[in-house]
Structure 1
């Protein structure tokens, strides 16, 4: 009977908990979700009305993509608590396409790249055999450390803010972080699980009298906005733009694989080749829908991996609830504008905790690895070192050819490729996981 017990991933929580836990995820990812459409709108010279439409279209499609991944249907959806968002890997090529072919050029390239991802998913998922704990641990650690840059910048007020690093911003971020720690220390059960949401609410209460919360635009925003397909015109298909976007989706598939494996580690669910295929297919389908519904390429949002680890809530239906909330936000621009009023400093306090948890889970995964020889030590050291190059020195690869920049500016992709290659070199392409799991040294340390 015990073997028939439902996995926590498939547990359906009461409605109230689903809503609050789901809202917590939405607040954690919202700033990242709206950043890409704002950047693209600026590059394409869109009007304020068009920009607002683009943001709401993105939120709506984010929600649909999240529902596809978490609920799943037929051969689509990995069915774990993974929230979908626009990949930042696509920003640079989309800016270039917007300036040369306009928005229709972007959407045409996105549709074809999504179809490519959907078709290649079964073949790409075979890479999972190259992800033993020494590789997954390294990749998860790189994801967490890379994301910390985002959290730190939020805490300081946001990149480009003239008062970046002011004591006011840092103080608000510190209060949010302290609230999360205190709730986790002194509360249990439901309250501990919504510690991030409580921290964000406390941060908002503190930020309002300090003048950090800007509600301008809420009054002018429409109550209802419908996302109509091909709002900017029928898509156009230009070969160079399509190739660039396919390259982006190859990077996205590597990053999504890392995120899927990270969430699998956190929730205690083994990710099989078939699971990975369904997840990558969902990425492809969501990206195609993005091109149709005036949005962009979609991938697992790494920002929310840490929230799953921090709260310990493993149910995929919680994140499905986030998908429903995102769809609603996409249909009701006024509500979306209110949510957008959360200051960067408030998000920063939560971000430092969530992204640090991702890195800590990577270290936890590495604790399963046999380090009795230097081979695995080198794999971890070099992959993390190379993966952090874009973070430590953004211009390190600036003289490389333009077509390589999408890959070279993604520390997660660089670190993943490095870890896979080094593991294949030192341990062989398929034997690494078995060696580590059967290691007597690891078994002894685990027993302690």
Structure 2
């Protein structure tokens, strides 16, 4: 009798914790807020990086952050709730991708921010159109390519962290001041201590806590914090489309962003497959296409509303696993919170006032984690001489413009827009080298097997779901 009761209770609890279950508001709000906290530091970093590189003032940076948060909320709701053929309908959070930072800075410095937004809109439309066919293209993105690209993203962005520690210096000053280095090191040390000694729930937001504590300490040092814009910022404002002018569509810039779009779709596919496994709802090929369309729609909206390309945030996939909460409506609530934050400019102005040295310390951890994710993917690769060569040459080519920013100054503009970004250059080289050196292996595996191995997250029922779009409707055979 007791065993029967226990089994019944387990079935009841399982039925109350499904992807389509809506938790009570008392639980829904804190669970959604937790996702926002895990995403926030990474979400606001991209507008700060791009806006700072283009020389925008505090008011414009605050607007970029507001627009970013607003569209991140909209994109998250589309992905989690879904409508028609848009949205994977799983607990996924959407945020601006780091993969686009290098190309966007290159485009913005050459042509202006309107061209960035034009390229972003074109990239989003490309993603929507190609989504149904992308599963057949995944054989070109095995772990050797995706791991190398993610590693390059993290390494390339370290120059941004160094610039923050130098207080945004672009070469006018001989180096970082000792006080800036001290704040960066202190912030980084605090993040490490949180990861080591804090409970798991706090460790998930260690970067955000590092930013908060570093900023509070900086208040004690005159001149470290600059929050003059907070008083002038409104409590409420609508994020208007085309705030910086109508988008400009330039061919080479669009090609550069389309490459980023392919990387985004690869990352999102891995995240969707992983979260499907975690919540015991394997992703079908049709769901995969719907999720990629939602990525494209979020990116189109980003270009229209003065922000950038969107992708699924991997740290939030980990949070789903950590909490064990499967409801997609938790992500929906998080999207609502992001929209509200985007409509309160004072919040954005406060974020923009965080000392650059503190951001630099957090950036080392944040970008280092991105690089480490690439290494983790590469750890699953069999490193024969050919694969070693693919990684070595791709990383080497990618770091050339990072260690020597003027290396391609004598080349045509279209070439610079693609290869001045180490991320774009490294991705192209990794794809081409893999096609050249691993052609025989790709033929042996076949397209379907390559789809599965490319993301290393599909096993058992999920593999069947990807190879057979209607697999989730069939009874299990084991």
| TM-score, normalised via structure 2 length | 0.72
Q: Deviations over 1:89-143 (max 9, x none)?
A: 23444565559xxx5x876675455434422333455321112222222222212
Q: For 1:158, what is the secondary structure of its paired residue? A: coil
1:246 match: 254
1:29 match: 43
Note if contact 2:86-2:291 (Cα within 8 Å) is conserved in structure 1. yes
Note if contact 1:256-1:280 (Cα within 8 Å) is conserved in structure 2. no
Moved more, 111-120 or 248-257: 111-120
Shift of 1:260: 3.0
Moved more, 30-39 or 247-256: 30-39
Q: Aligned-pair RMSD on alpha carbons? A: 4.2
Match for 2:141 among 121, 131, 136? 131
1:144 aligns with 2:154: yes
Can you give the 5+ residue segments of structure 2 that lack an aligned partner in the other structure?
A: 1-6, 454-478
Match for 2:33 among 1, 4, 19? 19
Match for 1:409 among 408, 420, 428? 420
Note if contact 1:180-1:198 (Cα within 8 Å) is conserved in structure 2. yes
Can you give the 5+ residue segments of structure 1 that lack an aligned partner in the other structure?
A: 438-448
1:227 aligns with 2:235: no
Against the structure 1 CA distance between its residues 183 and 117, is the aligned structure 2 distance closer, same or farther, given a 3 Å change threshold?
A: closer
Against the structure 1 CA distance between its residues 210 and 93, is the aligned structure 2 distance closer, same or farther, given a 3 Å change threshold?
A: same
Q: For 2:157, what is the secondary structure of its paired residue? A: helix
1:440 match: none
Moved more, 25-34 or 47-56: 47-56
Q: For 1:388, what is the secondary structure of its paired residue? A: helix
2:459 match: none
Q: For 1:218, what is the secondary structure of its paired residue? A: helix
Against the structure 1 CA distance between its residues 98 and 334, is the aligned structure 2 distance closer, same or farther, given a 3 Å change threshold?
A: same
Q: For 1:83, what is the secondary structure of its paired residue? A: strand
CA distance in 1: counterparts of 2:176 and 2:321, whole angstroms = 32
1:353 aligns with 2:361: no
Match for 1:68 among 36, 59, 78? 78
Q: How does 1:264-279 map to 2 (within 5 A)?
A: 277-279=289-291
1:442 match: none
Q: Which has the larger radius of gyration?
A: 2
1:384 match: 395
1:333 match: 345
| TM-score, normalised via structure 1 length | 0.77
CA distance in 2: counterparts of 1:415 and 1:292, whole angstroms = 29
Note if contact 1:82-1:260 (Cα within 8 Å) is conserved in structure 2. no
Moved more, 107-116 or 133-142: 107-116
Against the structure 1 CA distance between its residues 163 and 312, is the aligned structure 2 distance closer, same or farther, given a 3 Å change threshold?
A: farther
CA distance in 1: counterparts of 2:263 and 2:276, whole angstroms = 20
CA distance in 2: counterparts of 1:11 and 1:427, whole angstroms = 47
Q: How does 1:201-220 map to 2 (within 5 A)?
A: 201-211=212-222, 212-220=224-232
Against the structure 1 CA distance between its residues 20 and 417, is the aligned structure 2 distance closer, same or farther, given a 3 Å change threshold?
A: same
Note if contact 2:154-2:368 (Cα within 8 Å) is conserved in structure 1. yes
Note if contact 1:306-1:354 (Cα within 8 Å) is conserved in structure 2. no
CA distance in 2: counterparts of 1:41 and 1:335, whole angstroms = 21
Moved more, 209-218 or 118-127: 118-127
Against the structure 1 CA distance between its residues 220 and 407, is the aligned structure 2 distance closer, same or farther, given a 3 Å change threshold?
A: same
Note if contact 1:139-1:416 (Cα within 8 Å) is conserved in structure 2. yes
CA distance in 1: counterparts of 2:361 and 2:52, whole angstroms = 23
Note if contact 2:68-2:308 (Cα within 8 Å) is conserved in structure 1. no
**How many pairs align?**
421
Against the structure 1 CA distance between its residues 214 and 338, is the aligned structure 2 distance closer, same or farther, given a 3 Å change threshold?
A: same
Note if contact 1:137-1:366 (Cα within 8 Å) is conserved in structure 2. yes
CA distance in 1: counterparts of 2:289 and 2:406, whole angstroms = 35
Q: How does 1:78-97 map to 2 (within 5 A)?
A: 79=90, 80-84=92-96, 87-88=100-101, 89-94=103-108
CA distance in 2: counterparts of 1:11 and 1:413, whole angstroms = 41
Q: Deviations over 1:274-313 (max 9, x none)?
A: 56644542343223323443x1442338xx6578779985
Note if contact 1:70-1:77 (Cα within 8 Å) is conserved in structure 2. yes
Q: For 1:381, what is the secondary structure of its paired residue? A: helix
CA distance in 1: counterparts of 2:377 and 2:367, whole angstroms = 16
Note if contact 2:166-2:177 (Cα within 8 Å) is conserved in structure 1. yes
Shift of 1:337: 0.9
1:443 match: none
1:186 match: 197
Match for 1:344 among 356, 374, 379? 356
Shift of 1:30: 1.6
Note if contact 1:309-1:357 (Cα within 8 Å) is conserved in structure 2. no
1:397 aligns with 2:419: no
1:363 match: 375
